[in-house]
Structure formats: structure tokens, C-alpha cells
Chains A and B, each alone.
Chain A
Amino acid sequence: MELVQMQKSLQDYTKSLFLEGVLDSQFLQLQQLQDESNPDFVSQVVTLFFQDSDRILNDLSLSLDQQVVDFKKVDPHVHQLKGSSSSIGAQRVKNACVVFRTFCEQQNVEGCHRCLQQVKQEYYLVKNRLETLFKLEQQIVASGGVIPAMELGF
């Protein structure tokens, strides 16, 4: 694939993520923070996010599978996930967390289970999309090109 084409694909792909609401402007902020002195910033942060989130989702599953659910434990996890997802711009994950928290407050186990599923779904979606995004970027760089700056045309 030609470099220009790759770059265009990347841009389109990124744009679609925004349009779908998978990512929000916070992600753009992250991209803007990336520069020569910090060339892999976005991928580093996103990797951290994945690591943290995997762990949290795991803990959440365990907590909710208990006989007696301890919401005092569940809530902080969700809260943290909400914080980190909002920080990287994973909008849908964050929104799912917000809903999750309300069910936690109501101590609704059934509701929480559903929310957890929802969160997981959104999380895997964004994870998948971002991984694809990074691959595209890597291809471009490998071909000697630069990653085009995101145009905020939308």
C-alpha cells in the first residue's frame, strides 16, 4: 500500500472512531501531547490502560460472582475504570461505567452483572480499535512516513 494511502486510511479510521463515539476529544489531547521528545506517548498510555483495565475487569468479575456481593469493593474498581477510561478518551467505556456505578449504588446485583457485560463489551471494542490504529501507524512509520496529524474536521 502506498504511504499516502496508508495515511489516508489511518485518518479515516481514526475519524470513524470519533464519529462512533468510541473515542472522544480526550484522545486527541493525548495525541497532541505526543511529540519528538515523547514519540510513543499515546501507545504507552494506552498500553497502561489496557493493563490496568484487564486487571480491574478481572477483579470485578470475581467480586460480582461472590455469593454476597460486596459493593464497597465493586464501586472503587468501577470508579477507577471510569477515571482511566475518561483520561484516555474511551468514551463509551466511561459511559458504561457511569451506568454501572448507579447500579452499584442501588446495590442491584443483576443490574451490575449486566453493566459489567456492557463495560467489557465496550472495552474490548475500544481495545480492538486502538490496536488496529496502532498497527496502521506502525505500518506508516515502517514505510518511512509520518503519522498525519489528526484533523478535527468533524
Chain B
Amino acid sequence: MTMEQDIEAMDQFPLGMRVLAVDDDQTCLRILETLLHRCQYHVTTTDKAQTALELLRENKNKFDLVISDVDMPDMDGFKLVELVGLEMDLPVIMLSAHSDPKNVMKGVKHGACDYLVKPVRIEELKNIWQHVVRKSKFKKMIKSIVTTNCVSEGNSDQNGVRANRKRKDQLEEEDEEQEEQERGNEKKPRVIWTRELHNKFLAAVDHVGVKNAVPKKILELMNVDNLTRENVGSHLQKFRLALKKINNEANQQANLDSQFTQMSSLKGLGSFHHYRPIPLGSSQFHGGAATMRHYPSNRTLAGMFSSSLPRNHNDGGYMLQGMPLPPLETLHIANNNNNNKAFPSFTSQQSSPLVSPNNHFVPEGHQGFSPHLEINKRLEDWSNAVLSNNIPQSNLHSKPDALEWNLFGNSTSPNLDTTNQTSFCRDTDFGSPNAAQADSFDPLQMKQQHENILSPMTVAQLLRSSSGNEGLFMGQQKLENGFMASDTGSLDDIVNSMMTQEQSQAEFSEGDWVWVA
């Protein structure tokens, strides 16, 4: 759908929301279809998971939401959830006759937005549209914030946010154009670390072993045209940094366990650390689910984290259990304006904290979060370095990298410690510094569909690519860094907090962080 159509549809929303319903049980499928029709959604049904995937792949914009049964003969419902989240970044609701919490947990881990128990009642279905709104609204908001680039204006009040929103449409259009240009422009060589590409990367690294991974070998193994050793090198570096961070965080994680367990869902990040649920900050499945969706999408990193991260989903890629890699799409965000900025569109606020003009990380928001400071500096350095290095492909290359890998550290900077860079999420508590960090990690957890998505997993955050839009999932960071994941999670709050960070936006040299809206 075009932007205009999108906007129009939004007006009517939730009427006419396009739902894909999947259930091998004919009886249930028929009932579900009728219930959905009653809610005035537009329904497509299939009894095979495989068919559903094909339908989705055929046209990614054809559906707004997927509802799927868990127990299907041709494919495990959880797997379907993962794949849908990974590839299409759509909200997925799980359906099952199982009501036991373990299954619900599993669903959340795999990235489901919600989990309904059969028999489904119409009341439950009447509210499912919220998941779509959260996702898209989030995305749009982020986009507008990012593209507005009003950081330097120190726009920290509500008005600023509103102004941004008003410009949202315009920006969105610009963004789209930019994105299209970026994508479609064949002349400029760009290295975009797509999921597939990243998966290849992971496969290669895995093949040689993380310790022995050298860019040259990886490049050879990947066997991708137009990829230079340099690209691989910087990507690898980020990757390593992220790994380190994750490991460190895993250690910190222990402290926050108890808090997390109260949190409802395991958002897609799943047990990133040690199979700990990532507290999304909401104890209801509904609430927290949003972020989950995105997680599965970027699991590529998973493979690499051998230590504490069980590698659960290896279908087709490396899946870091529940750790979504930053959406690659985020990388495409129009950075036009900020080519030289690490994070073109998105950055402003976010970048600022991270990369203050003077390399001055002001971690106000971070409570005792010194690593951030360090990391921010490093990121800044790194992004600078990256930007300067990758000339032909710099922007693109670094961007995607940055987006996902920023967290991993700057190639130039020594170590991005594991501090929660990922904590960028949008915690309203975060001060600007957080914002910056959030940015980088935004991809990791953009999906803050539900407010307070706390994701202790930095890596996951890093990895979160597309869902990045929601990005605010950093809220969870708080747990790790003592940040408070705000429960409010209202988008307004988030936006506001983000706006505050715009102040020092200056240059977000990170440039790689794309806020995918």
C-alpha cells in the first residue's frame, strides 16, 4: 500500500484490517473466519502453514496481522511465528487449545504478540488490531522523530513531539522515497547487511569458529559478490563486540532475574541470556507481546552466541534464541540527509547521547551506567571511523552495520563493553544518553509495541533489525542498568523521552543506526 493508502486505511482502522488465519482444524478455522468477519476484518484462511508462508512472502504488504494455531501437522506453529516475524515483521497471534503457561511462554519467546486459548471468543478478537497499531504507530513515530532531525533544537517538550507527528506524513513520504532510492539505486555500491547476508556471515563465522574468524576467510566462505573484506571486517568487529556485550550482560542478568520473572512475556529475545524472559515490562501477555514480534526476526546473531545462548532456532539461519537481529530494514531508512551522520534519520536524539559532539557522553540518564559512557564514546569513534572508512559504500554499509552492529562496538574503538548499549530502548527514564544508546540498539528492540519492553539482552537489541522501529524496548535495559523500564510505555512518553535526547544530538556519527519506522 502506498503511503496515502496507508493513511486512509488507518482512518478506517481497525475495520478492514487484513488478517491471515491459519489452522489445520477445519472446524476451528471456519469458526475463526466467521468471528473475524464479524469483527469486520478482511480475512484470508488457510489450513497449511506452508501455504500461509507462501502467501505472506508473495506480498509482504498484503496482510496486517497473522493468527495461527500452534499445533499443525506440516509445521510447528512456533516456527511459523518466528519465520513470520523474521521475514515479514508482522504481528502474529498464536492460537491453541493448550492453556498452560509454558506454552504461552514459548509463544512469547518465539515472538508472538499474543496468545489466545481456544475456544476463542469474539471479544478477544475484537482487540487484536491493537497489535497492528502499536507496531505501525511505533514505526511511524520513530521514523518521524528520526527524520525530523530536530535534535539540535532541543525539542524536548510535547510540542516538539507533536510537531514531529504532524510532519510525520511528510517525512514518511520522504523516507519512503529515500528508501526506495537507496534500495533501487544500483549505481552506488552499497553493502546492506540483509538478513540473508548476515546469515551467510554467521554461517561462515561459525564454520571457522568465532575465534578464528578473519574477514578474508569469512568473505571467501560467504561467496557474495560486491562484498569487500573491509565490509566483512567491520561487520565482524561489531559482531564481536556485541558478543562480548552479551556475555557481560549475561553476567549482569542474574541480578535482574527476579524482576524479570514478573514480567510477562518473553519477548522474542527469549532467553537471550540464559533463557530468561525478557521482561517487556508488562505482565500481561498482551502488553508485552509487541516487542516480541520482532525479535525472532533477527535471530541471526543467535548462532554466534554459543555460550549462554542456546541456539534454538536454526532454521535457515542462526537464531539467537529470541535475539532478533536488528532489522535490516532499519538500515534502509533514509539517511539521506545524514550521510555523514552515523544515524541519518533516526539519530538525532538518539545519537546525541551516544555521540555527543564532543564525544562527550552524557549519561545522565544512565544510572551509574558508566559503561555506556564508554561505549558511547566508542560508538562515536567507531561510527566516525566507519564513516570515514567506507567510502563508496560507507553510508550504506555502515548504516546497516551500525544499525545492528553498532552495539557490537566500534571497529575503531577498543571495546564496547557490554554495557547496555542496547538499553537504548525507550525508556522514559532514560535521559538523553539513553536515547542515544537506544538508537543504536533500536534495531534491537525497536519493537516496543508494548510499553516497557525491557530487554536485558543487549544483543537482542542489537540484533533487532526491522522491528527496530519500535526500538523502545530498551526499557528493559533498566533492569540491567538500573534503568527503569517505564510502565507507562505510552508512546507519548516514549517520544518525549526521546525528544529530550535530541538536545545534544549534534552529530550522530554513528550513522548506522537506522531507525526503521
Contacts and interface: CB of A to CB of B under 8 A. Distances in A.
Interface in B118-137: 118-122
A60 B38 CA distance: 35
Nearest to A78: B97
Contacts of A89: 119
Q: Per DSSP, are chain B's interface residues mostly helix, strand or loop, or mixed? A: mixed
Nearest to B98: A79
A80 B120 CA distance: 14
A26 B98 CA distance: 17
Contacts of A41: 34
Interface residues of A, number: 22
Contacts of A92: none
B71 interface: yes
B27 A33 contact: no
A26 B97 CA distance: 14
Candidate in B38, B119, B121 with the most chain A CB atoms within 10 angstroms: B119
Nearest to B73: A76
A44 B26 contact: no
Interface stretch (A6-14, A46-54, A118-126): A46-54
B31 interface: yes
Interface in A83-138: 83-84, 86-89
Contacts of A45: 27, 30-31, 34
A37 to B, nearest CB: 9
Contacts of A88: 27, 31, 119
Given A33-B38, A45-B31, A79-B71, A86 B119 contact: yes
Candidate in B34, B37, B98, B118 with the most chain A CB atoms within 10 angstroms: B34
Contact of A44 (B30, B118, B122): B30
A86 B69 CA distance: 14
B32 to A, nearest CB: 8
A29 interface: yes
A30 interface: yes
Contacts of B31: 30, 33, 45, 87-88
A114 B77 CA distance: 31
A99 B97 CA distance: 14
Contact of B97 (A29, A30, A52, A79): A79
Contacts of A80: 24-25, 71, 97
B26 A86 contact: no
A50 to B, nearest CB: 9
A88 B26 CA distance: 12
B38 A87 contact: no
Contacts of B69: 83
B27 A48 contact: yes
A84 B30 contact: no
Interface string A13-32: 00000000000001001100
B10 interface: no
B105 interface: no
Given A79-B71, A79-B97, A82-B97, A87 B119 contact: yes
Contacts, number: 61
Contacts of A30: 31
A33 B30 contact: no
Candidate in B25, B35, B37, B122 with the most chain A CB atoms within 10 angstroms: B25
A84 B34 contact: no
A87 B120 contact: yes
B28 interface: yes
Contact of B118 (A29, A48, A86): A86
A26 B124 CA distance: 13
A33 B35 contact: yes
A76 B71 contact: yes
A5 interface: no
B97 A86 contact: yes
Nearest to A44: B30
A38 B27 contact: no
A79 to B, nearest CB: 6
A51 to B, nearest CB: 7
A2 to B, nearest CB: 33
A99 to B, nearest CB: 15
Given A86-B119, A87-B119, A87-B120, A49 B71 contact: no
A84 to B, nearest CB: 4
B512 to A, nearest CB: 46
Contacts of A52: 25-27
A149 B169 CA distance: 48
B71 A26 contact: no
A87 B27 contact: yes
A84 B27 CA distance: 6
Given A45-B27, A48-B26, A79-B97, A87 B118 contact: yes
A46 B499 CA distance: 55
A142 B120 CA distance: 33
Given A82-B97, A83-B71, 18 more contacts: A33-B38, A38-B37, A41-B34, A48-B26, A48-B30, A76-B73, A79-B71, A80-B24, A80-B97, A86-B97, A86-B118, A87-B25, A87-B27, A87-B31, A87-B118, A87-B119, A88-B27, A88-B31
Interface of B: 24-28, 30-31, 34-35, 37-38, 69, 71, 73, 96-98, 118-122
28 contacts: A26-B119, A29-B119, A33-B35, A41-B34, A45-B27, A45-B31, A48-B26, A48-B27, A48-B30, A52-B26, A52-B27, A76-B73, A79-B71, A79-B97, A79-B98, A80-B25, A80-B71, A80-B97, A82-B97, A83-B25, A83-B96, A84-B28, A87-B31, A87-B119, A87-B120, A88-B27, A88-B31, A88-B119
In the A-B complex, the 6 residue pairs with the closest CB atoms: A83-B97, A84-B27, A87-B119, A49-B27, A86-B119, A48-B27
